[in-house]
Amino acid sequence: MHLWVFSIHVLVILCSSTIHAKTVVETLATDDRFQIFVRQLNKTDLLQDLDQYPSATVFAPTNEAFDSRMTIVQTKEMTRAELLYHILPQSILTDEWYNGELLETSYTQDGKPQKIKLTNNSGKWSLADNVNIVDADLKTDNGVVQVVDGLLTPPKDLVQTLAEHKELDTFCTLAKKAHIETELKRANGYTIFATRDVLDGLTDAEKAYLNHSEAKEDIALVLRHQISDSDLYFGKIPAGKTLVKTLQGEDLELVSDKNNNNQVTVNGAKIVQSDILASNGVIHILEKSILPKNHDFLKMNLRKALIGMNATKFVSLFENNGLENYLNTKDAYSIIAPPNGELDEHTIPRNEIRSWLKYHLISQKYDINNFTDGLLVKSESNDHLSKNEKQRILIHIIDQDQMPISAMKKSIQFNHATLIGNPVTVENSIIYPVSRSLELPLDPLSRLPLNLDLSTFVASLYSSNTADEIKSAQGITLLVPTNKAFERLGILTKHLLQPNSQQKLARVIKFHAIKNRLYYINETKQGEYHVPTLDGHSEIQINKTVDGRMYIRGSGAGDGSDRSVIAKVVHPDMLVSNGVIHKIDRIEIPSTLQVSNRDLLLAENTNNFVNLIHKTNLSDQILDGLDQPYTVLAPSDRAFAKLNITNLLQNPDELLRVAKLHILPIALPKMSLQPGQGSNRFDEKPTEGDNEEGDDRDNHSDITGDGVEFSSLLEHEPLIISQIDPGYIIQVKRDIRHSADVVDIGRGSNGGGVIVIDRVLLPYDQAEHNHPLAWWVTLLVAIGVLLCATLIGALGYYGWRWWKERREGYISLDEEH
């Protein structure tokens, strides 16, 4: 029954549609499914307009299509434009469609009918994401109604369309950086061949540069190479090869292969997604980027690479100081570039900014692997140096072994600036991004005081009036002895530091300033040779060993055999504005510098002893002679204070004997009051490179712990000098009850010298005479002897008696039997 009624109903409907033909409008209006759509059409007067269409296709969304966007519909009515986009000004049935076909709608913008793209989804047609044909081909008098389950949105302009496509993000960002969005918005029928990774195929440096907003013209260049000003919808691309002019000017070669599934390539890159519709153009996505054919189209140079590394402040400094040539040169450089965040503008030295900037340029291209620890590379800066020389930068490589295996990169420092990223190679040059800007080397007078253990030298520079000469000398090597080296010279140092020795001190200082620059590592030549110093009279000897150590020798001890006077470089290569400083552990004396025993004695204030020598008729040779060496054992004034010499002074013969006892007719024995190397390092913070490992300079003492005998000018009265810990003692061999400690030592220029002692030495008999026993000691001894004698006497007497009694007792006992 019900089935029968239903069949009639269907029949009636079918008859009415064929017999009583309806218009599109009537079809829509009488179908409940389109109530909302019809109401919207009616509101925008489109219902009447539609009636005028000779033929039309309407994509009619069902009520549900609206409901699915309920929120939007309830608040916002569809515009006439949106509605027009659902209407085609021609009647077209689905069996005439093909996949990818573009249908022109009644909605036009700038005179261009906006299109709808048809997609065959495994037999089902869809018009956009989530808009499918659910009921196809409702035929009417003047057209056809296609029922859809969603609302169509007209295409947006190229810029918005790019932005809505996730995979075209990069293109979109770059378009904004290049300021070409305006052009894209205004375009009327552009085609964009976009890619996911627009910059694919460029070097890292180029990519980084193009990512920077300063590069906007070059970005535009890259993007405009991917844009044509004609609208090349996929279906319009002719078969075979076509050349299409781009906005950048170069042609793109499009190849359409009708046999191969209509595949189209652009400069060899396949179109993987075609016809992304925009209101004013169309976008095709390529599998890979297309770049201008000329590889060097960006004309990368150091400037552009630096911009890519965010070193724009650095670039501006070069440009504002007339050094822009360095940034577009073809010459090879290694550039040490602090990015903006690391460049502290307060540290830029305003008065030598050009020199400072040039200090960041190494004059050759060094790859990471070219760097070795301690290497001194040449910069472009050369103020304060002679013409052909360059300021150096010290390379420091942090031990890789201490880094985790994953961090295989070397950690490199340029002076104190650490490498913070991958170096970037451009043209013939390379750029190293670093953690801070470099500082120009300080002048020596500013640099030296930073080392506390060089304070004596610094004081000497000023007291000898050589500071200015050292500072203004161009291109020198300054050998700077440590404070300990000064101490080691003992009395000689005291002499040199006396105000009236200023000239001599100046010569010693200048003897330590070599006239050219001897960088320590791999630059100072090997072997033994002399080099001129600022002390015009003398050359200093260099001994650079095969294993890379450097020794320095001045005149040394008398016969030149004393290795203990050889200086060793303990900390090389401190860079200063006018050269380089090496720290050394000995002071070297120019051979022509004259220091007599008298100089040493006066420096030590041994006035009593000098007076004593004067009173005798000993030869001037001993105090002032510079030929034959004498070693003078000089008791300090304090030593004389312990002794009453009134008698001595009244007796010229004795006086002479005492004086002679203090004079050895030999060169100063090798002995040093400095504790052994390495034993008192605690007071000195060990700096890197200060490795004073023992070497053959340490075995330098002529004196042993068992004592060594020396004859003095006083015949038959030899002396013994023994090493004790610490220091030395001196004794008269025949009178070893008394000994004098060695207080200070100093060598004169002829090999002789002065040993200051804390006690006056006396000949054996004099010693007796001068040390009478006190009366109470005598008394005590006498009493002691007396007591002993009495005791022995008493013991003897009683012993005798006991023996006698025993003997007699035995006899009497014998007699009793």
Ligand X SMILES: *[C@@H]1O[C@H](CO)[C@@H](O)[C@H](O)[C@H]1NC(C)=O
Name the residues that contact ligand X, by CB under 6 A: 29, 38, 42, 97-99, 120, 122-123, 207-208, 211, 309-310, 339, 364-367, 370, 372, 374-375, 521-522, 528, 543, 545, 551, 616-617, 644, 646-647, 652, 656, 696, 698-699
**Beta carbon of residue 228, minimum distance to ligand X (angstroms, whole number):** 27
Identity of the residue, 259 or 561, whose beta carbon is nearer to ligand X in the bound complex: 561
**Beta carbon of residue 647, minimum distance to ligand X (angstroms, whole number):** 5
Give the integer Cα–Cα distance in Å for 323 and 316: 10
Contact predicate 740/755, CB 8 Å: no
Give the integer Cα–Cα distance in Å for 626 and 189: 104
**Beta carbon of residue 320, minimum distance to ligand X (angstroms, whole number):** 21
Identity of the residue, 605 or 770, whose beta carbon is nearer to ligand X in the bound complex: 770
**Beta carbon of residue 280, minimum distance to ligand X (angstroms, whole number):** 28
**Beta carbon of residue 395, minimum distance to ligand X (angstroms, whole number):** 8
What b-and-e string marks burial along 309-321, b requiring 16 or more CB atoms within 10 Å of the CB?
bbbbbbbebbeee
**Beta carbon of residue 365, minimum distance to ligand X (angstroms, whole number):** 6
Give the integer Cα–Cα distance in Å for 591 and 749: 8
**Beta carbon of residue 168, minimum distance to ligand X (angstroms, whole number):** 16
Identity of the residue, 637 or 698, whose beta carbon is nearer to ligand X in the bound complex: 698
Contact predicate 732/717, CB 8 Å: yes
Identity of the residue, 122 or 679, whose beta carbon is nearer to ligand X in the bound complex: 122
| CA 520 centroid distance within chain | 20
Give the integer Cα–Cα distance in Å for 291 and 298: 10
Give the integer Cα–Cα distance in Å for 725 and 37: 113
Identity of the residue, 28 or 600, whose beta carbon is nearer to ligand X in the bound complex: 28
**Beta carbon of residue 705, minimum distance to ligand X (angstroms, whole number):** 11
Give the integer Cα–Cα distance in Å for 473 and 383: 12
Q: Are strands 376-378 and 392-398 parallel, antiparallel or unpaired?
A: antiparallel
**Beta carbon of residue 208, minimum distance to ligand X (angstroms, whole number):** 5
Is residue 770 packed enough to be buried (19+ CB in 10 Å), middle (13-18) or exposed (0-12)? middle
Q: Which of 506, 586, 577, 507 is nearest to 550 (CA)?
A: 586
Contact predicate 245/232, CB 8 Å: no
Identity of the residue, 97 or 383, whose beta carbon is nearer to ligand X in the bound complex: 97
Tokens encoding 751: 């090999």
Tokens encoding 11: 């029949």
Identity of the residue, 39 or 186, whose beta carbon is nearer to ligand X in the bound complex: 39
Contact predicate 359/438, CB 8 Å: yes
**Beta carbon of residue 83, minimum distance to ligand X (angstroms, whole number):** 14
Identity of the residue, 384 or 553, whose beta carbon is nearer to ligand X in the bound complex: 553
Identity of the residue, 97 or 297, whose beta carbon is nearer to ligand X in the bound complex: 97
Question: Which backbone phi and psi does 121 adopt, to 5 degrees?
Answer: -95, 85
Q: Which of 352, 289, 281 is nearest to 323 (CA)?
A: 352
- How long a stretch of residues is the chain? 817
Question: Which backbone phi and psi does 478 adopt, to 5 degrees?
Answer: -105, 120
Alpha-carbon dihedral 274, 278, 281, 282, rounded to 10 degrees? 0
**Beta carbon of residue 577, minimum distance to ligand X (angstroms, whole number):** 22
Identity of the residue, 372 or 778, whose beta carbon is nearer to ligand X in the bound complex: 372
Identity of the residue, 353 or 521, whose beta carbon is nearer to ligand X in the bound complex: 521
